[in-house]
Structure 1
Amino acid sequence: MPLPSEPLRKLGFLTIGLFDADDPRRGHESTLNVIQLGEELGFDSAWVRHRHLQYGISSPVAVLAAASQRTSRIHLGTAVIPLGWENPLRLAEDLATVDVLSGGRLNPGISVGPPIHYDQVKHALYPDTADVEDFSYARVERLLSHIRGEPVTTYSGTEGFEVFSDRVQPHARGLGQRVWYGGGSVRSAKWAGEHGMNFLSSNVVQAEDTLDFAEIQRVQIQTFRAHHPDGDKARVSQGLVVIPTDTATAEQRAKYEEFVLRRTPRTSETHGPRRLLFARDLVGTSDQIAEQLYAHAGFQLVDEVAFALPFTFDHEDYVQILTDIATKLGPALGWRATSDHP
């Protein structure tokens, strides 16, 4: 097995937090328990997806506020919050509050663009401004300026017993350096780099010149760093779906392999007008997965990952997968649990 030039430095995972409509608390508790398990296993970060009008986490900031009180070390991230659904000023207040509660462990991941099925939801979401809302990168710039402590009003001072600030409160020092952009195109990679953000690269990219997923991801990562003030030291996290089977039962292995087989055909062609391309899910022993990752042109450029958990598995499956990632796949990639770090 080839060795990477640098060992994996940070190991994270991503979950969608599915729940049953008739018993939503159970699914949310499962997500919180998975995050707690991640901390116990030494993971550096746990990330949650954002799903509106679906049976997944619709309020990741609220879920991570709860997670911050059940954990003490693991970093907590969103991958990603679609800003088309958000007021940047209000979101900045929520993010800063959770960051303070977590002791500076929040890593907000965001993206831009109109909400999915916007024509069907816009009158409920923006009844008076639907046709003039700006879903461009300017929405990110607004959020960044609010988080980083720039004034949001021309007024500050005291009225009676009330004191007013001209910037978002609480102000979470350091949060502005922990904001990530979830990008899938060369354009978004360039923009995120120019604005000093961190870059989340997932298992979906925009195919612009080739259908080679790894090559597309490599170009995007290089573009991001070429335009970032920190250059090659700029932070990038890769998020492929990996399913190690080292300690899986025969029944689990069969389920995992069937899951991957069912999803593989979508990786052979692009989808939609944006020509979206999906990465192949990786299933097998940790040594087999590590070998595939070492040969992956995108993985070769990163030292941080947030491996995505499959959407539809059972809680017991996630326990097995996370345990194998932390105890077998991570070490195979040169990673050491946080408790072992100097």
Structure 2
Amino acid sequence: MKKIGFLSFGHWSPNPHSKTRSAADFLHQSIDLAVAAEELGVDGAYFRVHHFAQQAGSPFPLLSAIGARTSKIEIGTGVIDMRYENPLYMAENAGAADLISGGRLQLGISRGSPEQVIDGWRYFGYAPAEGETGADMARQHAEAFLKVIEGEGFARPNPRPMFPNPPGLLRVEPYSEGLRDRIWWGSSSNATAVWAAELGMNLQSSTLKDDETGEPLHVQQRKQIEAYREAFKAAGHTREPRVSVSRSIFALTDDMDRAYFGHDRDSRDQVGMIDDTTRAIFGRSYAAEPDVLVKQLREDEAIQAADTLLLTVPNQLGVDYNAHVLESILTQVAPELGWR
């Protein structure tokens, strides 16, 4: 059995061919897609976060709205760029969203990815300390966030408060029990996967990874997952960690599917540079008839190793078509692979 969720990059565009022509379209349609996905039996609704772009920026209003409209589906991100975040304010937002959803938040965080603007986090009031990088700052923000959501008091109370205080030091409110175990780190390297394991976070590995060995993406990811799980166990954590990988997978079941994605059937991994400094490997997409997909996905070592698969969806094609994409995977592919 494997959990299957969708991952939306949340694009909108005034292009007449787009079903999401505004931010309002994206937000309302994301809620509707999460509701439809829950009815289909999809396990998770996840959203990418990009600043200064026509995509989802602050995710918590959307996650809260989905939490209020659904009852079972996991609600998450993949990922929030921690270079931009105030850890304490983020803890308040995350706690509220988790309580609204009844403890269904699965929050993916990371150091972020290439941006729309230069050092965008500076406009949000953040800058690395001298001699440190933006990635260092992101990990520091993440560690502060993880500490705060543990629920321990740390702030000295005012002796003459506006409202009565409980005894002892105060914590950030609202506190949501169990949220600390539902934080994921989006890792592009083996080293940061091990770091995430040591801190007791779950692991998200996407279709983009540092090219550390020259092997196909799915092989590098499988090795990353193995290193992560070994480090998680060595750190002494007692719970079972979760691991997700994301993929673009489309079952070609009708003429519309073939028109949109039939040309992707011969897709291969690609190698490129990130920020002109890091060699990265970009994973292939899968688009084929269901029986062919089953054979292809059996050979993807990372998908087999992960407990959760996030299907990237073309959100600009609208709610109905994306629900069809998800239903095709759930009914015609997943059962043949033993995932359902």
Q: Compare 326-335 and 34-43 and name the one that shifted more.
A: 326-335
In structure 2, how many angstroms separate the alpha carbons of the residues matched to 1:115 and 1:154? 39
Q: How does 1:149-228 map to 2 (within 5 A)?
A: 149-155=151-157, 159-163=161-165, 166-228=170-232
Matched with 2:150 is 148
Determine if the alignment matches structure 1 residue 241 to structure 2 residue 248.
yes
Pairing of 1:3-82 with structure 2 (within 5 A): 8-20=1-13, 23-82=22-81
From the superposition, tell whether residues 226 and 34 of structure 1 become closer, same or farther in structure 2 (CA, over 3 Å): same
**TM-score normalised by L of structure 1:** 0.86
Which one-letter code corresponds to 2:11 in the other structure? L
- Counterpart Cα distance in 1 of 2:38 and 2:108: 20
**Residue 139 (structure 2) aligns with:** 137
State the 1:123 CA deviation.
4.7
Pairwise CA RMSD of aligned residues? 2.4
Amino acid of the structure 1 residue aligned with 2:69: R
Q: Are 1:251 and 2:244 matched, yes or no? A: no
Aligned with 1:302 (options 283, 290, 306)? 306
- Are the equivalent residues in 2 in contact too, given 1:202–1:239 (CA < 8 A)? yes
Match 2:273 to one of 271, 274, 282: 271
Q: 1:90 to 1:260 in 2, by over 3 A?
A: farther
Structure 1 residue 331 corresponds to structure 2 residue 335:
yes
Shift in alpha-carbon separation, 1:319–1:237, aligned structure 2, 3 A: same
Work out whether residues 199 and 236 of structure 1, in 8 Å CA contact, stay in contact via their aligned partners in 2: yes
Question: 228-237 or 25-34: which moved more?
Answer: 228-237
> Is the alpha carbon distance of 1:67 and 1:160 closer, same or farther for their aligned partners in structure 2, counting shifts above 3 Å?
closer
CA drift at 1:255: 1.6
Q: CA deviation at 1:329?
A: 2.0
- C-alpha deviation, 1:291, in angstroms: 1.7
Once the two structures are TM-superposed, the CA of residue 312 in structure 1 deviates from its matched residue by 4.5
Query: TM-score by structure 2 length?
Result: 0.87
Counterparts of 2:289 and 2:159, CA distance in 1: 61
Q: Where does structure 2 lack aligned partners over 5 or more consecutive residues? A: 15-20
Could you tell me how far apart the structure 2 residues matched to 1:208 and 1:296 are? 18
Q: Against the structure 1 CA distance between its residues 173 and 158, is the aligned structure 2 distance closer, same or farther, given a 3 Å change threshold?
A: farther
In structure 2, distance between residues paired with 1:49 and 1:36:
18
Q: What's the secondary structure of 1:172's corresponding residue?
A: coil
CA separation in 2, counterparts of 1:197 and 1:61? 20
Contact 1:156 1:166 in 2 (8 A): no
Deviation, structure 1 residue 162: 4.6
CA distance in 2, matches of 1:277, 1:232: 31
CA contact (8 A) 1:82 1:115 kept: no
Counterpart of 2:56 in structure 1: which amino acid? Answer: I
Kindly tell me the number of residue pairs found equivalent between the two proteins: 322
Specify the SS of the correspondent of 1:52. coil
Aligned to 1:5: none
Deviations 1:4-35 (A, max 9, x none): xxxx3312111122224663212221111111
**SS of residue paired to 1:25:** helix
8 Å CA contact 2:12, 2:316 repeated in 1: no
- Deviation for aligned residue 1:110: 0.2
Whichever residue aligns with residue 137 of structure 1, its letter is R
Distance 1:157 1:283, change over 3 A: farther
Q: Which moved more, 1:109-118 or 1:192-201?
A: 109-118
Q: Residues 271 and 311 of structure 1: is their aligned pair in 2 closer, same or farther, counting only changes over 3 Å? A: farther
Question: 2:18 aligns to what?
Answer: none
Q: Is the 8 A contact 1:13 1:308 kept in 2?
A: yes
Aligned residues with identical type, % of pairs: 30
Q: Does the residue aligned with 2:71 lie in a helix, a strand or coil?
A: coil
- 1:130 aligned partner, one-letter code: A
Mapped partners of 2:151, 2:160: distance in 1: 20
**AA partner of residue 325 (structure 1):** I
Q: Is the 8 A contact 2:50 2:115 kept in 1?
A: no
- Between the aligned partners of 1:217 and 1:312, the Cα distance in structure 2 is 28
